[in-house]
């Protein structure tokens, strides 16, 4: 039976996985490593670069090719949510000065502006209260990604691996902070998570083709909305709950769940 191989280092501590690293040139791998990649039943964490290439040759990947296509790309995620009619805060993307001039007519203050690509951990998320703040945001953001403001002091992180929820917890915002990200001072709370939120998160992951994602879900207007998907989610919530993430992944690989 061929060994289980990964390229990125996410599984480097898993005893049943051999991590090869990501090489800029395929021929930088040794002859043995190239053979392992070509013959592997599944390549785990192939990286955004090799995900495209390995998918083209029909290789099974984990996370899926679709998961990689939406990593840290809020614009693609929002378009996908809208296509699938997944509940999501009202959001619009504006390109260029003329389009940005329509923001005030489309959204009331306060509104939320985000750096739509490459941002994480709550960075690049701004509460915009007036025209001056909007102008500063628009000068920095190309394109502008504007979202309705939801007055939240908490949200729910639901982690889906494979085809099931493996962990879920509340994230509580710090006093005076509108973001609940742990990187922005939020904290983990292990109170029970409503099953409706879990169902929405799992359905979203399955419909979007994402099989390794931390989905942020919020309670709003008597229902639940998906804020975004985080494919590079942290492990602090697992640590607080006493869940051994490495052991979890080892078991899911050994059982054929991923």
CB distance 163 to 212 below 8 Å: no
> What is the tens place of the pLDDT at every residue in 219-244?
999 999 999 999 999 999 999 999 99
State yes or no: pLDDT of 1 exceeds 80.
Answer: no
Dihedral pair phi/psi, residue 247, rounded to 5°: -65, -40
Q: State the Rg of the chain over Cα.
A: 20
Q: Do domains 90-148 and 154-254 have the same CATH topology?
A: no
Q: Which of 208, 180, 216 is nearest to 88 (CA)?
A: 216
Domain ranges of the chain: 5-62, 90-148, 154-254
22 near 8, Cβ under 8 Å?
yes
> Is domain 90-148 annotated with CATH 3.30.230.10?
no
Residue 154: half-sphere exposure toward Cβ, Cα within 13 Å? 12
pLDDT in tens, 97-133: 999 999 999 999 999 999 998 766 557 899 999 999 9
Q: How far is residue 133's CA from residue 131's CA, in Å, rounded to a whole number?
A: 5
Q: Which residue has the tokens 């309705």?
A: 148
Specify the fold of 154-254. Answer: D-amino Acid Aminotransferase; Chain A, domain 1 (3.30.470)
**0.85 cut: is pTM over it?**
yes
When the pLDDT of each residue in the chain is averaged and rounded to a whole number, the result is 95
């Amino acid at each position: 039976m061929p060994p289980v191989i990964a390229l990125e280092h996410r599984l480097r501590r898993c005893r049943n996985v051999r991590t090869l690293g990501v090489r800029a040139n395929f021929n930088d791998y040794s002859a043995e490593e190239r053979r392992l990649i070509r013959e592997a039943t599944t390549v785990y964490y192939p990286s955004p670069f090799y995900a495209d290439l390995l998918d083209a040759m029909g290789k099974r990947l984990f996370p899926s090719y679709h998961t990689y296509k939406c990593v840290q790309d809020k614009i693609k995620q929002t378009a996908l949510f809208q296509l699938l009619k997944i509940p999501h805060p009202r959001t619009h993307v504006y390109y260029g000065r003329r389009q940005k001039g329509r923001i005030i007519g489309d959204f009331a203050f306060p509104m939320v502006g985000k750096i739509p690509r490459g941002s994480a951990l709550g960075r690049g998320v701004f509460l915009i209260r007036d025209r001056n703040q909007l102008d500063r945001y628009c000068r920095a953001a190309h394109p502008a990604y504007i979202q309705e403001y939801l007055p939240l002091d908490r949200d729910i992180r639901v982690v889906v691996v494979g085809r099931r929820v493996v962990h879920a917890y509340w994230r509580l915002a710090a006093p005076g902070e509108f973001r609940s990200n742990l990187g922005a001072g939020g904290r983990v709370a292990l109170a029970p998570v409503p099953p409706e939120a879990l169902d929405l998160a799992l359905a979203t992951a399955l419909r979007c083709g994402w099989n390794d994602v931390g989905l942020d879900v919020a309670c709003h207007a008597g229902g639940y909305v998906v804020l975004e998907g985080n494919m590079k989610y942290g492990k602090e919530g697992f640590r607080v709950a006493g869940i051994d993430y490495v052991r979890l992944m080892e078991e899911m690989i050994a059982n054929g769940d991923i």
